Amino acid sequence: MDFQAQIQQYRQTLEEWNHRYYDLDAPVVSDYEYDMLLRKLEQLEQEHPELITPDSPTQRVGGQALDAFRQVRHEVPLQSLQDVFEPSELAAFFQRVGQQVQSPAWVLEPKVDGLSVALEYEDGVFVRGATRGDGQVGEDVTENLRTVRSIPLRLEGAPRRLIVRGECYMARTVFQHLNARREEEGKPLMANPRNAAAGSLRQLDPRIAARRRLDCVIFNIQLIDGPSFETDSAALDYLASLGFPVIEHPVFRREEEVSAWIARLGEERERYPFEIDGAVVKLDSLAGRALLGETAKFPRWAAAWKYPPEQKETVVQDIVIQVGRTGVLTPKAVVAPVRLAGTTVTNATLHNQDFIAERDIRIGDTVIVQKAGEIIPQVVSVVAGKRPDGAVPYQFPQACPVCGAPVRRDEDGAAIRCTGAECPAQLARTITHFASRSAMDIEGLGPAVVQSLLEEGLIRSAADLYTLDPQRVAQLDGMGERSAAKLQAALEASKSRGLARLLTAFGIRQVGEKAAQTLSRTFQTLDALMQAGEEELTAVEDVGAITARSLTEWFAAPQSQHLIAALRAAGVSFASREAPRGDALAGKTFVLTGTLERYSRAEAKRLLEAQGAKVAGSVSKKTSYVVAGEAAGSKLTRAQALGIPILSEEELTALLEQET
């Protein structure tokens, strides 16, 4: 590949990673991997400076402000840090600074892997807080930051104005609890504490942000209208005296001491409550900093030593599949136990089918695993030379390992999903959906009640709902006689909701409320719908080949048939409440005149007739409506004379689409 194409490819990859990281809060690679690729791009661009464009990922600092929050222009930009990955790079940094500053002293700080924020105080009162955004413009997240307990809202004896910079983070333990809860609720898990923190700070509802229990550490004075300092360490001590949670910041003069501290922090980083992705080395003298100045992106007086995620070799003993509550099949590698970043690792995530296929991971393979900010270790790559003879490519299962139903790949993603209507792995979600407002609308049957019904073994699928014993329901935690009776009544009422809602309740992929209504109107009964072939289904408006296939597969599954039989026995209505299309305009006579935009004459005629209307060629007293298009002629005049209602094209369209 020539260098131009190479640059292009790196940029594309980085942009994609950026988008996933900043905008979707769902990173796909570790930061270290990102930094390494960015570094490669930087090097190529340096060799070919004529190819640098302003939109290259190397030219920007970080995320872009989202629209949902008000934007704030930072009075003092929130800069990035120059990375160093190797001792030689650190030595070069010391040398560069040493050329301008005599016997420098160094402040050392853990590089907290969170979200950078600027906090502004007026007369000691916290007035504004913003995210870094692109360094110049960030998002105003004041209300959310107010909920962070470690941020002081009022300072004693503070200067008139003060802006400090710090890092917001989610403590590891909080992160673990959050994910455990999300798992219980069937919500997607957060990738790592930093993304969880970022997501929490950008919550539009501060109450949600508050529940996320973020923390903050402060590491810089951005602006102060008050005392001045000679060194950064003195400034930080001052902030601590005002009541800020200040980052630890030992000062060293000898370079060996700096290196030793960096190495020790690397070994001990598991002991901190927050994730640490590096060590920051900063010149302590503020006069020295002013002398050195900065580049467009970062100060010349600081460097960030980045720790590579610890990696180890191990052997894949097995690949197992877990089925989540949303029915997604997630592969996991069972690996020979290995010590990694302070814990013993016995399994690693394989994400999805594509991840395995792209890396060709096989059972028996020796692989590199790492923990990179994420709590769950991941498989990085296969050690090609160590593949045992006879290792075969991994075949992703075609059937759900929990219930045996066929699996299907999402049209819009890499996820493989179980299609089983009664798959135990997804029961809670399926049943909650069945009872939800847009489906069978069973009041009082929310996620918590569904969960306890399942746990107590009172139901095994939605089919069991209608044979529930109210007395046993009354004994459930938090239920009682009254609630049980209410639930019983709600269940009874739901039996007559009709076919459209029932179809929605089934949760068949691709069949949403609208499609369910159309199907209900067209087929009128569940039995007629079940008998329809794919061809007949695709003839229905809004039903494409994928939906048709989804329907026939769903009806063919034994679990679905069991569910339908149980509902039938319980007396749930399978009949449509939507009048069939054919009758809607029965007995009405239409006359068309002029040119219509959306339909040809023939088409309009066909559509009207399909709903039982008659279409006549001339206007008489018997005409119900005249549809007047562009340049309507004598028929319109006659209709007006006879006082016959005139419909515009829009009105005709509305009539044709009307739900009767």
Nearer of residues 41 and 280 to ligand AMP, judged by Cβ:
280
Closest CA to 593 of 581, 582, 578, 604: 604
Site string for ligand AMP, 290-309 (x = CB under 6 A): --------------x-----
Q: Does 112 bind ligand AMP (CB under 6 A)?
A: yes
Specify whether the CB–CB gap between 214 and 169 falls below 8 A: yes
Q: Find the part of the chain contacting ligand AMP (CB under 6 A) among 104-112, 316-324, 403-411, 510-518.
A: 104-112
Q: Find the part of the chain contacting ligand AMP (CB under 6 A) among 106-114, 315-323, 331-339, 355-363.
A: 106-114
CB of 178 to ligand AMP, least distance (A): 21
**At residue 41, what is the residue type?**
L
β-partners of residue 246 are 218
Terminal Cα distance for the chain, rounded: 62
Size of the site for ligand AMP (CB under 6 A): 12
**At residue 171, what is the residue type?**
A
- Spatial distance between the Cα atoms of 209 and 187, rounded to a whole number of angstroms: 17
Residue nearest to ligand AMP (CB): 116
Helix boundaries (H) for 254-328: 255-268, 286-292
Helix boundaries (H) for 229-338: 232-242, 255-268, 286-292
What is the 8-class DSSP label of residue 19? I
Residue 628: HSE in the Cβ half-sphere, 13 Å Cα cutoff:
16
622 in catalytic set: no
In the range 197-226, which residues lie near ligand AMP by CB under 6 A? 219
**Tokens linked to 500:** 């459209």
Q: Does 81 bind ligand AMP (CB under 6 A)?
A: yes
CB of 282 to ligand AMP, least distance (A): 7
CB of 297 to ligand AMP, least distance (A): 8
Nearer of residues 115 and 500 to ligand AMP, judged by Cβ:
115
In the range 128-187, which residues lie near ligand AMP by CB under 6 A? 132, 167
Q: Does 111 bind ligand AMP (CB under 6 A)?
A: yes
Q: Which residues contact 277 (CB under 8 A, 6 or more apart)?
A: 31, 32, 111, 113, 306, 307, 373
Q: Find the catalytic residue in 111, 282, 371, 635.
A: 111
Closest CA to 41 of 25, 31, 29, 53: 53
Helix boundaries (H) for 68-154: 87-98, 142-146
User: Collapsing DSSP states into helix, strand and coil, what is residue 112?
Assistant: strand
Q: Does 194 bind ligand AMP (CB under 6 A)?
A: no
Q: Does 275 bind ligand AMP (CB under 6 A)?
A: no
Nearer of residues 118 and 479 to ligand AMP, judged by Cβ:
118
| The only residue of 80, 142, 378, 550 in contact with ligand AMP, by rule CB under 6 A | 80
Work out the angle at residue 429's Cα, subtended by the Cα atoms of residues 428 and 433, and round it to the nearest 5 degrees: 120
**Torsions phi, psi of 221, nearest 5?**
-95, 120
Closest CA to 506 of 469, 537, 547: 547
Nearer of residues 276 and 463 to ligand AMP, judged by Cβ:
276
Q: Find the part of the chain contacting ligand AMP (CB under 6 A) among 105-113, 238-246, 318-326, 605-613.
A: 105-113
Q: Does 505 bind ligand AMP (CB under 6 A)?
A: no
- Spatial distance between the Cα atoms of 323 and 592, rounded to a whole number of angstroms: 57
CB of 150 to ligand AMP, least distance (A): 15
| The only residue of 280, 281, 400, 449 in contact with ligand AMP, by rule CB under 6 A | 280
CB of 167 to ligand AMP, least distance (A): 5
Nearer of residues 76 and 546 to ligand AMP, judged by Cβ:
76
In the range 313-332, which residues lie near ligand AMP by CB under 6 A? none
What's the gap between Cα 357 and its chain centre? Answer: 23
- Spatial distance between the Cα atoms of 140 and 10, rounded to a whole number of angstroms: 32
**Tokens linked to 269:** 């980083």
Q: Does 120 bind ligand AMP (CB under 6 A)?
A: no
* Interface positions with ligand AMP (CB under 6 A): 80-81, 109, 111-112, 116, 132, 167, 219, 247, 280, 304
Catalytic residue IDs:
111
